[in-house]
Amino acid sequence: MEQIKRVIFAEERCKGCELCTTVCPKGIIKLSDRINSHGYHPAEVTDQEACISCARCALICPDVVIKVYRPN
* Model pLDDT, residue 67: 96
Cα dihedral 45, 30, 33, 42, rounded to 10, equals 80
CATH, residue 32:
3.30.70.20
The rounded distance, in Å, linking the Cα atoms of 48 and 29 is: 10
Whole domain around residue 11: which residue ranges? 7-68
pLDDT (0 to 100) of residue 1: 46
1 within some domain: no
For residue 52, is it within any domain? Answer: yes
Whether 45 is covered by a domain: the verdict is yes
pLDDT in tens, the chain (72 residues): 455 778 999 999 999 999 999 999 999 999 999 999 999 999 999 999 999 999 999 999 999 999 999 877
How many domains is the chain partitioned into structurally? 1
pLDDT score recorded for residue 5? 76
